[in-house]
Amino acid sequence: MGWTFPWASSRGSDFNFDFNVSFTEDDQRDGGIEYNYRRETVIEWRAGQVGGGAGAEAKIAATTGTDVATFQRDRSGMSAFAHEEGVIYYTYSAYSRGVDGLWGMYQWLDRAPKGRDETGGFWLRRHEYERKVGSRHGRCHRFHQRDSCLVQSDVA
Amino acid sequence: MAKHKTGTREEWLAARLELLEAEKEFTRRSDELAQRRQELPWVRVDKEYQFETDEGSASLADLFRGRTQLLVYHFMFGPDYKAGCPNCSAIADGFNGFAVHLANHDVMLWAVSRAPIEKL
């Protein structure tokens, strides 16, 4: 993706599980998981939200080459730590809409005439937008438009 | 004609000034919230976490790279994903630009995912 920030793999460590952004199949089977400081069942996630419903969830999961259950075993958020006098401290985490403010683009959209205007779709990776001269929408933000916009080979 | 309500520049300014008060209140409340975040108790981390990075294996302490503060973005890229989550990718497009400013402000910003390092 052309990024330069440092990116670490926590594979094999408990890090993601201890900070509540990864879950096991057993967690999912045993009646739901606890994410963003509340219990939820797998199916509830995103229902009624942007592009809501299980069908939408399957579509976003497909953009990562997974099914819904696999996709939902990992979640997003942020955590903060301090290092003082040789000791590491955990200080803060936020998840879900708690990180809205970290999505810099949202702050701009909140000042645009039509706001976030996310009805019915989701964002693509930066190289997946097809340049459409004269298009009213710079992005293909609806599912029925999306198939013609997404460069299918980019997912793999 | 626009479907949205329209008005003169004077009408707009009056409405804007009213909104400005609400925005200022929001800014002040946001500052207070930030202060309360900093007042949360710190929890000692004694567990050893191992990470893989472009420079090899690293501990949680190593991720600080000499800074006293570490921010982790939990980037959704599970071990079985073929690509990272698109929303996380859009967020990363943002912090990719300013991570260098944080690094020079005693704050290391890392993305961490469960996928193997070869995929990241």
Q: Where are the domains of chain A?
A: 15-116, 123-156
pLDDT for position A77: 97
Strands B107-113 and B69-74: parallel
- Scored b (16 or more CB within 10 A) or e, A4-42 reads ebbbbbbbebebbeebbbbbeeebbeeebbebbeeeeeb
Tens-place pLDDT, residues A70-118: 999 999 999 999 999 999 999 999 999 999 889 889 999 999 999 998 8
pLDDT for position A32: 76
pLDDT for position A131: 52
Q: Any idea what DSSP says for residue A26?
A: H
| Other beta carbons within 10 Å of B4 | 7
pLDDT for position A143: 37
Mean pLDDT of A125-147: 52
Q: Which of B69, B81, B113 sits opposite A9 (nearest CB)?
A: B113
Q: Compute CA A22 distance to the chain's CA centroid, rounded to the nearest angstrom.
A: 13
pLDDT for position A51: 45
Q: How many CA atoms lie within 13 A of B40 on its CB side?
A: 15
Whether B25 and B15 have beta carbons less than 8 Å apart is answered as no
How far apart, in whole angstroms, are the C-alpha atoms of residue B56 and residue B35? 36
Which residue in A81, A87, A106 has the most chain B C-beta atoms within 10 A of its own C-beta, making it the best mutation to test that interface? A81
Chain B contact present for A65, CB below 8 A? yes
Q: How many angstroms away from the CA of A125 is the closest CA of chain B?
A: 5
pLDDT for position A30: 77
Q: Which of A3, A8, A70 sits opposite B78 (nearest CB)?
A: A70
Chain B contact present for A74, CB below 8 A? yes
Ranges of chain B with pLDDT below 70: none
Tens-place pLDDT, residues B36-65: 999 999 999 999 999 999 999 999 999 999
Q: Which of A75, A103, A154 sits opposite B94 (nearest CB)?
A: A103
pLDDT for position A64: 95
pLDDT for position A3: 97
How far apart, in whole angstroms, are the C-alpha atoms of residue A119 and residue A141? 8
Contact across the interface for B91 and A88, Cβ inside 8 Å: no
Q: How many angstroms away from the CA of B73 is the closest CA of chain A?
A: 4
Q: Compute CA B53 distance to the chain's CA centroid, rounded to the nearest angstrom.
A: 20
Contact across the interface for B112 and A7, Cβ inside 8 Å: yes
Tens-place pLDDT, residues A14-39: 999 999 999 998 888 877 789 999 98
pLDDT for position A42: 53
Task: Give the 3-state DSSP-derived string for B63-95, with helices as H, strands as E and coil as C.
Answer: HCCCCCEEEEEECCCCCCCCCCCHHHHHHHHHH
pLDDT at A65 over 90: yes
Contact across the interface for B51 and A6, Cβ inside 8 Å: no
- Nearest to A28, CA basis, from A90, A71, A58, A88: A71
Return the structure tokens found at A117: 């205007």
Chain B contact present for A26, CB below 8 A? no
Which residue in B112, B118, B120 has the most chain A C-beta atoms within 10 A of its own C-beta, making it the best mutation to test that interface? B112
How far apart, in whole angstroms, are the C-alpha atoms of residue B63 and residue B59? 7
